[in-house]
Amino acid sequence: MASAYPPQTGSTTRSGGNPAIVGAETDIPNGPGPEVMAASTLEGDDVVNRLGEDLGKIKEIMIDVPSGRVAYAVLSSGGFLGLGDKLFAIPWSALTLDVNRKCFVLDVDAERLKNAPGFDKDHWPSMADTTWANEVHAYYGQRAYWQPDRM
């Protein structure tokens, strides 16, 4: 697992109120993180569900270059699900960084992930295809990252 979780100092503020980061109690961090981090420090991090079941590891972090936004984390099942090394594009908004446990939490049970749209390392989908992207976001119950926030 990557060691991208520097010690933190400060108060009881949960990472500036960011709901996608759990356990970061800080006003002024000692280093880069957990709110701004190098993507390479997150690759290889474990992904678990709310029950603590291993779902895999972060293989890649995909950036929407024109918008500058993180689009997906590519999850490698790594055999955890009995699927071989199947890959899944997980909408970034579906993941919560748990600083205390040094992992990401995906609110999906293992059986649902087994049935998720996936791919293998030699046949990646066109992640810029909006039809594909809408299906992936809908599967995980997430609003597509390029859609405006609802008021």
pLDDT: which is higher, 124 or 11: 124
Domain membership flag for residue 148: no
Indicate the pLDDT class of residue 29, thresholds 50, 70 and 90: low
* Total of domains in the chain: 1
Query: At residue 2, does pLDDT exceed 90?
Result: no
DSSP-H helix ranges across 13-151:
39-42, 110-114, 130-139
**What pLDDT is stored for residue 25 in this prediction?**
53
Asked if residue 135 belongs to a domain, the reply is yes
pTM above the 0.75 mark? yes
Give the residue numbers spanning the domain of 87. 15-139
More confident site: 146 or 92? 92
Pair 117, 133: CB distance under 8 Å: no
User: Does 14 have pLDDT greater than 50?
Assistant: no
Adjacency order of strands within the sheet including 87-91: 21-22, 95-98, 103-106, 46-48, 54-64, 69-76, 87-91
Residue 10: inside a domain: no
Percentages (nearest 5) of helix, strand, coil residues in the chain: 15, 25, 55
**Contacts of residue 8, Cβ cutoff 8 Å, sequence gap at least 6:** 24, 25, 26, 29, 30, 34, 99
Collapsed DSSP state (helix, strand, coil) of residue 16: helix
Instruction: Indicate whether 2 belongs to any domain.
Output: no
Would you state the pLDDT for residue 11?
32
Q: What is the pLDDT of residues 93-147, one digit of tens each?
A: 999 999 888 899 999 999 999 999 999 999 999 999 999 999 999 999 999 988 8
What was the pLDDT predicted at 81? 74
Query: 32-85: per-residue pLDDT in tens?
Result: 667 788 888 888 999 999 999 999 999 999 999 999 999 999 999 987 777 778
Please indicate, yes or no, if residue 109 is contained in any of the structural domains: yes
Q: Is residue 134 part of a domain?
A: yes
Res 12 pLDDT > 50 = no
Instruction: Assess if residue 49 is contained within a domain.
Output: yes
CATH number (domain holding residue 25): 2.30.30.240
Q: Is residue 125 part of a domain?
A: yes
| Exposure string for 117-138, b = 16+ CB within 10 A, e = fewer | ebeeeeeeeeeeeeeebeebbe
